[in-house]
Amino acid sequence: MKVNTIIIGFGKAGKTLAGALAKKGETVALVEKSRGMYGGTCINVGCIPSKSLVTSAAEAAAHPDDSFEEKAQRYTRAIEEKRRVTGFLREKNYGKLNQLSNVTILDGTGRFVSANQVEVALTDGGTERLEGDKIVINTGATPVQLGIPGLAGNPKVYTSESLMDEPVLPKRLTLIGAGYIGMEFASMYTNFGAKVTVMEGGDIFLPREDRDVAEAIYEIMTRRGVNIVMGAKIEKIEGSTVYYEDNGEKKKVEGDAILAATGRRPNTDDLDAEKAGVALTPRGAVQVDELLRTTAPNIWAAGDVNGGLQFTFVSLDDYRVILSQLTGGSRSREDRKNVPYSVFMDTPLARVGLSEKEAADQGLPVRILKLPAAAVPKAQVLRKTDGFLKAIVHEKTGEILGAALLCPEAYEMINLIKLAMDSGASYTVLRDQIYTHPTMTEAFNDLFSL
């Protein structure tokens, strides 16, 4: 089959690009190896299912006196609701493209034959040879599996993807990895009623964050019952028991399930990228330039597979960059400003721009503004008063250099700060803005008045 563009992977960038090119009259072949992944990681095994469960977990936390059996029933219903949500969105994504006459969706695994040809091993058997003038790699990422003895092939060990499809609530859950995914799942499963232990090999908790932010998160998590073990050198896993060393002392953690939350790596193993002249980085990502071009002139890579930030909103911007290249534009990754991120814990964290430490390391003259969440009326209304709001403001120009929001609805509020930063506005714009009341956003009146 010959088409104008071949897209390998039905993720955020790939599906959006397929639709845009089809509307411009191009023929597109879209290859996806799993029928359960139409729409990509976010919809099926990432952001959407985890946030569905986070919402259900918060509702479960409102019933602290329930028996474990009642909590387990709530959890099973939450998994069913998560499946409904992801199934609905998956079908919507598939149908939106499948209805276009010039888009062909192939279920199977695509491998390069050359820089213009991809062979697809079809899920239902047989192969299909595709030829295209342009090719886009959008194969995403997969959970990292550490080489811990007893981890591989262990039915008691889950990834973040597989745990969210497990209908039975573990009474005791051990998490390996105290990063952002680990913190989201620790918070979520604690709210569901599980006893959670988090094990981290490093000695610094959340090293990317300022110490006041990390210490506040640590205090919130431990106060709510999460046991966080730092500096744990894991030696082996037997069943659902983790054996480790702590300051030279041999210890173990017994549980009912283990979640290996140790990051994700680019999904390039099946591509045969070298046959297309596509180079990979030492970490296995597709090597790209600021225009997302690979080392083959007619091939681009978008989303988690290209080694950039692994966020679905970054993947969406990758689509914009590639579409611009294909339609005579000039957009590049250099046009991105102040990419924010959120961690959907209870209490949530959202960050954008420089941290206090990063600003100090650069020798910038700054003012640090900090407001307790408890001082915000809406936080009192929500009965969620943990945390604080923190902004880093340039002393001379008044520009906002960064912010860390550890408070309710932080994931919504951070977008307004990003907008102000992108426009180069002074902090006084947010200080003097009129906000509806009572809302968390009106906290900016007070935060930027400090």
Its sign, for the CA torsion 418, 419, 425, 427, is negative
Distance of CA 24 to the CA centre of its chain: 31
Tokens of 403: 């912010």
Annotation marks residue 437 as catalytic: yes
Cβ contacts of 87 within 8 Å, gap of 6 or more: none
Tokens of 251: 């210890």
Integer Cα distance of 388 and 371 in angstroms = 6
CB 114, CB 106: distance < 8 Å: no
CB 173, CB 196: distance < 8 Å: yes
> Which residue is catalytic, options 23, 437, 438, 450?
437
Residues annotated as catalytic are: 437
